[in-house]
Amino acid sequence: MATVMRNASRLSVLPDPEYLPDRTVSERAAHGRALRDQAPHDRHRVWRASARRIDPIAILERQAQSRIPELVPIRNGRMAASPFAFFRGAAAIMAADLAGTPTSGLRAQLCGDAHLLNFGIFETPERSLVFGLNDFDETLPGPIEWDVKRFAASIEIAGRELGHSSNDRERTAIAAVRSYRESMLQFAEMRNIELWYTRLSVDDLRKRLAQAADRGSGRAVEKSIQKGLRHERLATFDKLVEEVDGHLRFRSSPPILVPVEDLLDDEQRTRYAPVIVSFLEQYRASLDPHIRALAESYRFVHIARKVVGVGSVGTRAWAVLFVGRDQHDRLILQLKEAQTSVLAPYAGAGAYESEGRRVVEGQRIMQAASDPLLGWYNLEAWDGQLHDFYVRQLWDGKSSIDITKLSSAGLRAYGESCGWTLARGHARSGDRIAIAAFLGPDDSFERAIADFAVAYADANDADHQRLIDAIDAGRLVSQADV
């Protein structure tokens, strides 16, 4: 199995030339106001499917062509579970839909899949807990409205699933987008370095939910925090790892977790060692020198294929076990295939030829404090195709809030925290002064986006039913998790 290294970068990673500091603050603000006049907020209110809209099921079928065939039915099954589960896996469908919607022309580094469950709690390198975005598979520079609209639609869809009234759902969506707008206005007033170090701590999140006077929401946050801390204490490693004859290895739990030796034939086993060596060399080379020293202090032990997420199911994902000073000093890295962002056909190519590096660099820009072990590599796999991967810790105190435990007031407070976080991610890469001026001091933007969210949630419901119908008709195969 040959490995291929490719040119990692092009000339610029800036998402928008407006960001360059060759304009005064007043000029940048005037530019944002002019864009608001050209693209009024009210234009964002309505969404209707175009007569030329691509069949959503055809988009899923096209994505399946680049995925591991035996895992695609699991993805279909997970997406069929509910309209919100479908929405989580339908980033490519919504990207195609958003491409035909109005935009201001203001760009920033996008998450690309900004829904409620792609925010969560994680540890900084200093081991403090912060709240932030935690999934960047689709990250790419693009129009700011795309992230905001996907975020707002996720609130409406989740609220329907939780049984919240239409009035409560509207108030939650408006509050969340208002938080985005008002936070951007605050960020526009900050010094650049002050913005860069701004974070939303878990204590801040506690206070926000406490102000919602919702005990249940507070308990949900505390449970999520404790779950993250248990991950740090390695208790949950026992779910994946076992000791056999004095040696650590991944458990076998197909199809969700499958040790590598159960996947390879005799010929492939002979090429297994060079593949691991190449992975380690490329990955370590992608790290900063001081982090590389840490990574090199761990010894490779075992690798297994692991099914992850909803939309990601079927892409190549591996869990890799390492040990440090002894068998109790364990580290698990996740190697996750990075395919072309679903935004790329509509937002343009990114700054990196390596899709793995695209994910890593996008995460570093948008996230409050990224995993220091983030890296990337590529290889030519058994199918003869070149595949890009990014690498991160599988567990690092990460945890997400169980939104099913939140009342409507709790979800509103949580949505406001997510809106703050999304605004901060955009402000770090886009022209935050022009964006703030475009958003303006009134509530017209959030009200328009909330109306869009209702219209798109209706379309998502219909698309979810199309998936169920396609499964019932035999067009798609569905498999429940084992």
Give the pLDDT confidence of 91-132 residue by residue, as tens digits: 999 999 999 999 999 999 999 999 999 998 887 777 778 899
Look at residue 125 in the predicted model and tell me its pLDDT. 72
Q: Is 10 exposed, middle or buried (0-12, 13-18, 19+ CB in 10 A)?
A: exposed
If DSSP codes are grouped into helix, strand and coil, which group holds residue 133? strand
| pTM listed for this prediction | 0.91
Q: How far, in Å, CA of 346 to CA of 221, rounded? A: 37
Q: Are 132 and 161 in contact (CB under 8 A)?
A: no
350 neighbors 262 (Cβ within 8 angstroms): no
Could you count the other beta carbons within 10 Å of the beta carbon of residue 141?
Answer: 24
**Predicted local confidence at residue 206, as pLDDT:** 82
Question: Which candidate, 166, 150, 111, 115, places its Cα nearest to that of 414?
Answer: 115
Q: What are the beta bridge partners of residue 304?
A: 259, 319
pLDDT > 70 fraction of the chain, expressed in percent and rounded: 89
Beta-ladder partners of 335: 318, 391
pLDDT < 70 positions in the chain: 1-21, 213-218, 220-221, 224-236, 381-384, 396-398, 481-482
Per the document, the length of the chain is 482
- Residue identified by tokens 């807990």 is 129
Task: Report CA-CA distances (Å) from 385 to 137, 183, 270, 304, 388.
Answer: 20, 44, 19, 20, 10
